[in-house]
Amino acid sequence: MTTVDAVIPVYNEEHVLAESVATLHAFLSEHLPYDWRILVADNASSDGTLALAQGLSEQYRRVACVHLDQKGRGRALRKAWLESKADIVAYMDVDLSTEIEAFPALVHAIAEEGYDLATGSRLAHGSRTTRSFKREAISRIYNLIIKTIMWTRFSDAQCGFKAISRRAADVLVPLVQNNEWFFDTELLVLAEKKGYRIKDIPVKWIEDPDTRVKLVETVREDLRGLWRLRTRPIP
């Protein structure tokens, strides 16, 4: 049977982790017809997140956790995905801002439809988003810049809702240089340029007012990353 690891990267998320894991566990138990596991990837939390994750791994048979001493969403995904033995590895943000009802479609695209990578899109036809005008504008402008500079076809680079096949992950993830928020964009660009099949999955997404994303810093990081990809040969 196809195996799936759903990774939740966390940094100081003690206040929401238990509820999110319980919600996801209940949903996957009922709706995902594969052999799945939830993997909490704690990257250098300074609160009680790690202890809570370890407790959840004891409470639920299908929950595990891994710890990193350094921060960075990309760094957490790199470790969790490359150390995983699952046929399909995925991730979602701990706040579950992307409606998890779309997760089976994400996995199905790879397990049954022959795609190498599936990504949630807040900009594809059929998606529904609830977020501030500022974040909506920044997202649309950023994705337009990507298309203009890199000539890509995927519609939403930074949605925290992705799945990738084991074969593609083993090749692509080691090539990604960024260990922070730009990890997602770089992964998608590399995948498309190397001919891997990518499927956009329209999603329902609601902005979390307690988000850890610092927009200005993230935009700067993304633009630097795009310039690097544009001016250096794709490996």
Q: Catalytic positions, please?
A: 184
Residue burial 106-115, b: 16+ Cβ < 10 Å; e: rest:
bbbbbbeeeb
**CB distance 177 to 228 below 8 Å:** yes
CA distance linking residue 110 with residue 133, whole number of Å: 33
23-42: b (≥16 Cβ within 10 Å) or e: ebbeebeeebebebbbbbbb
Which 3 state secondary structure label does DSSP give 193?
helix
Q: Could you identify the residue written with the tokens 């960075």?
A: 72
On whether the CB atoms of residues 42 and 66 are closer than 8 A, the answer is yes
